[in-house]
Structure 1
């Protein structure tokens, strides 16, 4: 029972049904609604937020399985709301560093309102002259991934040859633009003719190809990189990684932040060309955005001016309504999205 004068609201939620094997479906989630009190426990240092935008990210598929506790994220809990990254507004706060009305981004629930027990994981949003949705993408985890992965992990030099798989996605589109601004030769691959046009006409890639139309990935890469690849930004894995290894130049670097082609396989594909790492002195490094969150203010200092001056552009695919969130997430794995997939839950 609500206390006297206590404000209650309806809280629509996307509930995770149960652990998944193989390809996920919308039926692995369902919509529910419950009542929620607009208050937080006194002395808890927690905050209650109203979710505005939710981010659909490929890594969320991994969390639909029961994974080890030492991963970057914990598995989703059957019968509880899906969790991910989002943009939110503080409604009630018992934390000294957060006040009502603050805009934040960070880990939240797929629901209209979320009680955040560890708000220290949130970043405050101070720059609102850009769309708030950008904090699910270019100014959030994907942007940090692209910026840190390219500049820190890849150690790029002007004139180098850069290849990006899943290049029209939330991360890939940014890596390509960062590389072009550095004076690199940039090629990307994507899964449709429309996305290939986007890479060349919108993002300024030198070349792009539809990997689904290529029967021989090794031959395709040799066509675009006759002298080999200096930097590969890995988002796909499997057969693509195998083909890239044959085409890397001496002292090439591979930054690995995702392998979306493997997430839905019961038995991941093997990689057969690892011997090329030795004679070509190839450096392969896995990383996550969280490794570089300590440099977030530096990231903003560099990327915000690029956005404001029109030096980089960002394409979003925004669906409206929490009820459409499951379909938006599943669509990532069939290439349905066109750019960064975002769910609009509520307007500020």
Structure 2
């Protein structure tokens, strides 16, 4: 166990894209668990798009000068409660720090399935995979043969959506991505039929070329022009699953999508957003669906793994700029001191 603990604090509200100057790494002595709690040494951290929204001055957002939170997997190394045993592997949300003090009510024990890596619980079996699964099964109510368009198809939710849709019997699967390399990976490895680089032209034209016969479902991680394009491409009784608005996270100047609102009525389109935290009861169903496919090799987690907690900010900033393919995960341990490190 390390002699010090390291925590990431937000130090400024970003104007546009965040920078490393908006964060600070703070050293402290290892926290001592109080009676009824336990000390966790964290092993894997998730960095997610929603963290960018939380950095702004919004209700429920991050507090300046305080530790950030996030999904994390760690090992209990000291316990002062019989409900948490030393050596146990647990999931919790007190992330963006090397060590966390947690109570039994703040953790979730992870089932261990043969052949399934721990990191999968932050990707295909975690909030990312649950978002994709709920979006397809509960919001879109996907039917066998439905044709889909998925924006930001190369990200964590986009790759999970593509792989799940294939296993659920989807028809033509079309996506958008930020580079030709990502588009190629999605077609070769994930199961997409066609993927366009959204930098190459107007979204409506690119989508029409990729899905000339239209689509039944749009899984939207981006908003903006791609949402407008999807409204035009949707068939009668089409469904839009709103998951995120990446196009607006780092700017307040992006105009709302410009589409013909009459299409919503004339084509009986349904648009619905959701928060995955309201569907935690679906977690066991996700395990039942996904784990056998993971064990057989039919389902492969897509992840970009960054080694070293000291690189967590760089991993987060890289994710915002689309440098990852699949879910981005940070894997322990500490190495050299960080330039923005202070002592608490």
Normalised by the size of structure 2, how large is the TM-score?
0.91
Name which of 26, 33, 46 aligns with 1:40: 33
Cα–Cα, structure 1 residues 95 and 154, in superposed 2: closer, same or farther, change >3 Å? farther
**Structure 2, unaligned runs of 5 or more:** 335-344
Residues 53, 346 of structure 1: 8 Å contact kept: no
Shift of 1:228: 1.4
Name which of 48, 58, 67 aligns with 1:67: 58
Other-structure match for 2:297:
310
Taking the aligned partners of 1:57 and 1:158, their CA distance within structure 2 comes to: 30
Cα–Cα, structure 1 residues 146 and 116, in superposed 2: closer, same or farther, change >3 Å? same
Other-structure match for 1:24:
18
* Partner SS, residue 88 of structure 1: strand
* Partner SS, residue 130 of structure 2: helix
Other-structure match for 1:125:
110
Taking the aligned partners of 1:201 and 1:83, their CA distance within structure 2 comes to: 35
Shift of 1:17: 0.9
Name which of 265, 285, 288 aligns with 2:272: 285
Name which of 42, 55, 58 aligns with 2:49: 58
1:165-314 residue pairs with structure 2 within 5 A? 165-184=151-170, 185-213=172-200, 215-273=201-259, 274-314=261-301
Taking the aligned partners of 1:22 and 1:94, their CA distance within structure 2 comes to: 44
Residues 225, 258 of structure 2: 8 Å contact kept: no
Taking the aligned partners of 2:131 and 2:310, their CA distance within structure 1 comes to: 28
Shift of 1:220: 1.5
Cα–Cα, structure 1 residues 94 and 293, in superposed 2: closer, same or farther, change >3 Å? farther
Cα–Cα, structure 1 residues 102 and 128, in superposed 2: closer, same or farther, change >3 Å? farther
Taking the aligned partners of 2:251 and 2:37, their CA distance within structure 1 comes to: 38
Give the length in aligned residue pairs: 331
Taking the aligned partners of 2:151 and 2:2, their CA distance within structure 1 comes to: 47
* Partner SS, residue 251 of structure 1: strand
Name which of 39, 42, 49 aligns with 2:40: 49
Taking the aligned partners of 1:146 and 1:60, their CA distance within structure 2 comes to: 18
Taking the aligned partners of 1:128 and 1:309, their CA distance within structure 2 comes to: 12
Residues 94-132 of structure 1, C-alpha deviation per residue, up to 9 Å, x if partnerless?
Answer: 455432222122312211101125x42432112153111
Other-structure match for 2:340:
none
Residues 124, 130 of structure 2: 8 Å contact kept: yes
Shift of 1:322: 1.5
Cα–Cα, structure 1 residues 229 and 75, in superposed 2: closer, same or farther, change >3 Å? same
Residues 158-201 of structure 1, C-alpha deviation per residue, up to 9 Å, x if partnerless?
Answer: 11110101111111111111111232211111111110111011
Other-structure match for 1:12:
6
CA RMSD of aligned residues (A): 1.8
Cα–Cα, structure 1 residues 121 and 300, in superposed 2: closer, same or farther, change >3 Å? farther
Taking the aligned partners of 1:254 and 1:63, their CA distance within structure 2 comes to: 25
**Structure 1, unaligned runs of 5 or more:** 1-6, 69-73
Cα–Cα, structure 1 residues 225 and 49, in superposed 2: closer, same or farther, change >3 Å? same
Return 25-34 or 51-60, whichever deviates more. 25-34
Residues 198-240 of structure 1, C-alpha deviation per residue, up to 9 Å, x if partnerless?
Answer: 1011111111111111x12112111122221100101011111
Residues 203, 226 of structure 2: 8 Å contact kept: yes
Other-structure match for 1:134:
120
Q: Is 1:81 paired with 2:67?
A: yes
Return 139-148 or 262-271, whichever deviates more. 262-271
Shift of 1:60: 0.4
Residues 138-169 of structure 1, C-alpha deviation per residue, up to 9 Å, x if partnerless?
Answer: 11100110111111111111111101011111
Normalised by the size of structure 1, how large is the TM-score?
0.90
Cα–Cα, structure 1 residues 97 and 257, in superposed 2: closer, same or farther, change >3 Å? farther
Shift of 1:303: 0.8
* Partner SS, residue 30 of structure 2: strand
